[in-house]
Chain A
Amino acid sequence: MSVEISETGAPVAAPVYKQRGPLYFAWRRFSSNKAAVSGGIVLVILVAMAVFAPLITKTRYDAQDFLGQALAFPSREFWFGIDDLGRDFFTRIVYGARVSLSIGFIAAACSVLIGIPLGAMAGYFGGRADWIIMRIIELFSVVPPLLAAMLLGAITRGGFATIVLIAALFGWVQVCLLVRAQVKAFREKEFVRAAQALGATPWYIIRRHLIPNSVSPIIVGFVLAIPLAMMLEASLSFLGIGVPPPTPSWGQMINTGMNFMFFYWHLAVFPTAALAITVLATTLFGDGLRDALDPTLKGR
């Protein structure tokens, strides 16, 4: 698939008679969306930063090597300054990307794993299965998510795995609704009818016909679940029930920075900016992907 994109993605040169697939047009739409492309580029840089963190900065994120210079302002040696416990702040921001992005991606993957079967079930079987699943979703829409997340966090005492679970618990709803709508639209199509007439079981039809036809809403749901999970992680860490220290998390750093912001502004500014840029880039990328893959959803 990727070969096809790079072949046809080249500007004017495509031959006139060549059949252009939907992916070509999706790529065209995506690459003409400046905001989405720049979001994607920023996201790639951030991911690279998270993956190669040890190569970017030599100090350890929990090493209190600079206690004598604690709270020092940004300088040429320490790009983002030193934090209140004598740790290089740039290192902590870079490693914070690891925490934020890995929670975002894993939680989004989990939401997709929960959302696809439930959404497919609700859309395909309709009736009672649909009713039950929709009532569960309704339950999630009336309880303030943060409150429930705080309760769950208090029960399990935070930690990486818990946050991923909580984020997945609230992230699957959107994926489920997207898949349900798509499956519902395809359920009555001829090829599904034909498969039913040939005696295919419902799960076979869902697996072989309906889920492959829902790939674009699934991708969109996945990408849009990432910023939600990152925001939840930051919010919980901000409240002190997220990733426990010394693991660097931007939300936790913002909370600390809040206490210092009138004098040592760098402790507040850098994590705030890092979180804002990451969430914004991911959302722009996801929005662009959605508009490119499914133009009918535009602006929703």
Chain B
Amino acid sequence: MILYILRRLVSIAVTFFVVSVLVFLMMHSVPGGPFDGNDMPLSAAVRAKLMAQLGLDQPLHVQYFNYMAGVLRLDFGVPYQSPGETVIGLLSRAWLPSLVLGGLGVLIGAPIGILLGMAAALKRNSWMDYLASGLATLGLTVPVFVISMGLILIFAVWLNWLPASGWGKPERWILPIIAFAAIPLATYARYTRSAMLDTLNKPFVTVLRAKGLSERRIIFQHVLRNSAIPMVTVFLPMFIGTATGSIFVEAMFRVPGLGSYFVSSIQSRDYPLEMALVLMVTLMFCFAYLISDILYALLNPRIRTGGRR
């Protein structure tokens, strides 16, 4: 197991390196530079001075090594858009809304999805099943900005129940949280339903019924536990995916979260911020998958012994 984790850590390091090089190259091959905007024309001399100050006049590989050397010391540089703070400062400030809204979205959406999926699997082909499958399909296929648009139109424009946008008062959180919850809810409803149906058809359930166990004990003690493994392992990557914000949800609800910086850093050629965002998300996904795989092995003894061979 330890050997396995070590091997995975090495592979994460390699992935991290490859992604950093690729993104760095792609980022710098976007035409134009950070000071080419038309709203504030700079003279050639000023621009050259600024470029030299930020080290942008050096060859690309030197810039790359300088930046990555900083990253290893946890220094991600200064964002060009707001030079008064560090990239880390900006990220920790912008991350709060995304973490609160996205995190709550997952924490609310996942349990509801699990309940829906369970109900659907137990009452197969009932209206419950159709409702759960319908919601799951809607949540997984309809783009999240369409869902957000629908929520705003219905609850803010027509019914006038809730404010449509902003950040601050908790009632402004409700609609974005629902939008964030759509994907976890749909994913969990679908996973739970198919996992429970799989388990319900296993011979051991028939044996348990033959032994005369009550249906409730069969479901909660045996079936649920046996189908819980995929639900546990899918959680962390989903949490990371949602809690790093969504460009769309945050744009629709005008939330000052992390999502908007993904767009603005590319548009304004804000190289340090862009690199920091990509590297951070990549690293978090790598570790989320690693932890999920470890959890999977811990929860499922068959995989564990299989891994040792």
Q: In the complex, are the beta carbons of A231 and B143 less than 8 A apart?
A: yes
Residue B67 is within 8 A (CB to CB) of chain A in the complex: no
Q: Whole-angstrom distance between the alpha carbons of A268 and B263 in the complex?
A: 22
Q: Which of chain A's residues has its CB closest to B193's CB?
A: A299
Q: With a CB–CB cut-off of 8 A, which chain B residues contact A147?
A: 262, 277-278, 281
Given contacts A238-B248, A265-B153, A284-B137, contact A151 B146 (CB under 8 A): no
A167 to chain B, nearest CB (A): 14
Q: With a CB–CB cut-off of 8 A, which chain A residues contact B11?
A: 135, 138
Q: In the complex, are the beta carbons of A280 and B138 less than 8 A apart?
A: yes
Given contacts A143-B282, A147-B281, contact A276 B146 (CB under 8 A): yes
Q: In the complex, are the beta carbons of B248 and A275 less than 8 A apart?
A: no
Q: Which of chain A's residues has its CB closest to B157's CB?
A: A262
Interface centre among B30, B285, B286, B289, by most chain A C-beta atoms within 10 angstroms, is B30
Q: Whole-angstrom distance between the alpha carbons of A257 and B289 in the complex?
A: 38
Q: In the complex, are the beta carbons of A261 and B278 less than 8 A apart?
A: no
Q: In the complex, are the beta carbons of B15 and A146 less than 8 A apart?
A: no
Q: In the complex, are the beta carbons of A279 and B143 less than 8 A apart?
A: yes
Residue A239 is within 8 A (CB to CB) of chain B in the complex: yes
Residue A175 is within 8 A (CB to CB) of chain B in the complex: no
A73 to chain B, nearest CB (A): 14
Q: Mark A40-84, 1 if CB is under 8 A from B, else 0.
A: 000000000000000000000000000000000000000000000
Q: Which of chain B's residues has its CB closest to A282's CB?
A: B141
Q: With a CB–CB cut-off of 8 A, which chain B residues contact A283?
A: 137, 140-141
Q: In the complex, are the beta carbons of B149 and A143 less than 8 A apart?
A: no
Q: With a CB–CB cut-off of 8 A, which chain B residues contact A157?
A: 31
Residue B159 is within 8 A (CB to CB) of chain A in the complex: no
Query: A241-260: which residues lie under 8 A (CB-CB) from chain B?
Result: 254, 257-258
Q: In the complex, are the beta carbons of A151 and B197 less than 8 A apart?
A: no
Q: Which of chain B's residues has its CB closest to A228's CB?
A: B141
Q: Whole-angstrom distance between the alpha carbons of A231 and B263 in the complex?
A: 18
Residue A214 is within 8 A (CB to CB) of chain B in the complex: no
Residue A154 is within 8 A (CB to CB) of chain B in the complex: yes
A28 to chain B, nearest CB (A): 18
Residue A96 is within 8 A (CB to CB) of chain B in the complex: no
Residue B18 is within 8 A (CB to CB) of chain A in the complex: yes
Q: Whole-angstrom distance between the alpha carbons of A235 and B143 in the complex?
A: 8
Taking Cβ atoms with an 8 Å cutoff, the residues of A that contact B are 35, 135, 138-139, 141-144, 146-148, 150-152, 154-155, 157, 227, 231, 234-235, 238-239, 254, 257-258, 261-262, 265, 268-269, 272, 275-276, 279-280, 283-284, 287, 298-300
List 12 A-B pairs, Cβ < 8 Å. Answer: A142-B282, A148-B26, A150-B266, A151-B23, A235-B145, A239-B247, A254-B146, A261-B152, A283-B141, A298-B194, A299-B190, A299-B194
B98 to chain A, nearest CB (A): 13
Q: Whole-angstrom distance between the alpha carbons of A265 and B149 in the complex?
A: 11
Q: With a CB–CB cut-off of 8 A, which chain A residues contact B164?
A: 262
Q: Whole-angstrom distance between the alpha carbons of A144 and B240 in the complex?
A: 11
Q: In the complex, are the beta carbons of A258 and B149 less than 8 A apart?
A: yes
Given contacts A142-B289, A155-B31, A239-B247, contact A268 B23 (CB under 8 A): no
Q: With a CB–CB cut-off of 8 A, which chain B residues contact A238?
A: 145, 248
Q: Whole-angstrom distance between the alpha carbons of A232 and B184 in the complex?
A: 20
Q: Whole-angstrom distance between the alpha carbons of A227 and B140 in the complex?
A: 11
Q: Whole-angstrom distance between the alpha carbons of A269 and B151 in the complex?
A: 11
Q: With a CB–CB cut-off of 8 A, which chain A residues contact B150?
A: 272, 276
Q: With a CB–CB cut-off of 8 A, which chain B residues contact A148?
A: 23, 26
Taking Cβ atoms with an 8 Å cutoff, the residues of B that contact A are 11, 15, 18-19, 23, 26-27, 29-31, 137-138, 140-143, 145-146, 149-150, 152-153, 157, 164, 190, 193-194, 197, 241, 247-248, 252, 262-263, 266-267, 277-278, 281-282, 285-286, 289
Given contacts A254-B145, A269-B153, A280-B142, contact A299 B248 (CB under 8 A): no
B20 to chain A, nearest CB (A): 11
Which 10 pairs, one residue from A and one from B, show the smallest C-beta to C-beta distance?
A299-B194, A283-B141, A142-B285, A154-B30, A276-B142, A151-B26, A272-B149, A155-B30, A272-B146, A276-B146
Q: With a CB–CB cut-off of 8 A, which chain A residues contact B190?
A: 299
**Interface SS of chain B:** helix
Q: Whole-angstrom distance between the alpha carbons of A235 and B147 in the complex?
A: 13
Q: Whole-angstrom distance between the alpha carbons of A1 and B31 in the complex?
A: 51
With beta carbons under 8 angstroms apart, the residue of B15, B137, B194, B286 that contacts A280 is B137
Q: With a CB–CB cut-off of 8 A, which chain B residues contact A262?
A: 157, 164
Q: In the complex, are the beta carbons of B149 and A234 less than 8 A apart?
A: no
B304 to chain A, nearest CB (A): 22
Q: With a CB–CB cut-off of 8 A, which chain A residues contact B152?
A: 261
Q: In the complex, are the beta carbons of A254 and B142 less than 8 A apart?
A: no
With beta carbons under 8 angstroms apart, the residue of A138, A143, A144, A154 that contacts B266 is A154
A45 to chain B, nearest CB (A): 18
B103 to chain A, nearest CB (A): 17
With beta carbons under 8 angstroms apart, the residue of B31, B141, B143, B262 that contacts A150 is B262
Q: In the complex, are the beta carbons of A150 and B263 less than 8 A apart?
A: yes
Q: In the complex, are the beta carbons of B26 and A261 less than 8 A apart?
A: no
Q: In the complex, are the beta carbons of A265 and B194 less than 8 A apart?
A: no
Q: Whole-angstrom distance between the alpha carbons of A73 and B254 in the complex?
A: 26
Q: In the complex, are the beta carbons of B193 and A234 less than 8 A apart?
A: no
Q: Whole-angstrom distance between the alpha carbons of A239 and B145 in the complex?
A: 11
Q: With a CB–CB cut-off of 8 A, which chain B residues contact A299?
A: 190, 193-194, 197
Q: Which of chain A's residues has its CB closest to B262's CB?
A: A147
A130 to chain B, nearest CB (A): 15
Q: Whole-angstrom distance between the alpha carbons of A71 and B31 in the complex?
A: 36
Q: With a CB–CB cut-off of 8 A, which chain A residues contact B285?
A: 141-142, 144
B124 to chain A, nearest CB (A): 12
